[in-house]
Amino acid sequence: MFRVMFHEPRIPPNTGNAIRMVAGTGCELHLVGPLGFDLSEPKLKRAGLDYHDLASVTVHENLEAAWAAVEPARVYAFTAHATVSYADIAYRPGDVLLFGPEPTGLSEEVLADPHVTERLRIPMLPGRRSLNLSNAAALVTYEAWRQHGFKGAAL
């Protein structure tokens, strides 16, 4: 359905939570290295519970390898510095939802990548830096899936 991409994630439980989320939504999780942990990390395994076998997870050496593998049509990069809300987009299956590492977010270099279609933000109260990575990814993924009637879900 949708492709959730974590660029250089650093916190294993966030990635574990994302594994559970993509298993529950039918989305793909793409992890772009270098990763800040090993995939056998106990905290990642614990957060992902028994969903690891139900999730589509691919690790890419770097961003160029990720682009080559997913051949994205549209890439939405999430940053607190954008002016367009994630809720103002009509998502399409195959879209890439790109999130940056904790705690820095996506670098200007990644945000300027020609594959990036648009920079989006998740509204927050003033003075707040960001949401938790796995929460932000879930929020956006569920909005995109909602727009498609939660296709494939047991309602």
Q: Give residue limits of the domains in the chain.
A: 3-148
Of 153 and 43, the one with more pLDDT = 153
Report the candidate in 17, 8, 63 with the shortest Cα–Cα distance to residue 36: 8
- CA-CA distance, 97 to 110, in Å (whole number)? 13
- For residue 81, pLDDT over 70 is answered with yes
Amino acid at 112: A
Rg (CA), the chain: 14
DSSP 95: -
Question: Under CATH, which architecture does the 3-148 domain have?
Answer: 3-Layer(aba) Sandwich (3.40)
Annotated binding site for S-adenosyl-L-methionine: 100, 122, 130
> Percentage of residues in the chain with pLDDT exceeding 70?
94
Annotated binding site: 100, 122, 130
